[in-house]
Amino acid sequence: MHHHHLILRVVTKMLVGAIMLFAFYVQFHGDFSPGGGFQAGVIMAVAFIIYGIVFGLDKAEQVFPPWLVHKLVALGVLLYAGVGVVSMLLGYNYLDYDAFSPHHPSHGQHWGILLVELGVGITVTGVMVAIYYAFAGRPPPMKDEDW
């Protein structure tokens, strides 16, 4: 491990937790205030991408392995689609959130939106980190000596 950029490394370690905490805030308050799954997913991905930029791709892949990234992309889509399928199985239209609490539709709306936005957030985090891994992991088109 190189000892240059020590301040950048320390500040990054301090910021990553705060960025993730803010992502969770945006995720779970998105149905009451501005924000939601997409914004929270991008913010969460930024935490992993900054970590990868500062500490290197290998370290980032140790923290958030590519196999897990790909599984989260699928999980988020399944969660989103699953909410719609469950509402259909309960006799309602696809993504009709009233199905989750027929006696109190506002409660059903809350739970449906929360689950759908969670699916979006998980998917967006996975996709953004997968794109970063794909670009950061590709070999350079030419060697440094060719300049």
The answer, yes or no, to whether residue 145 has pLDDT greater than 80, is no
Give dist(CA 76, CA 121) in Å, integer: 7
The answer, yes or no, to whether residue 3 has pLDDT greater than 90, is no
The answer, yes or no, to whether residue 1 has pLDDT greater than 60, is no
Give dist(CA 100, CA 93) in Å, integer: 12
The answer, yes or no, to whether residue 23 has pLDDT greater than 60, is yes
pTM: 0.86
Query: What token pair was written down for 108?
Result: 């059903």
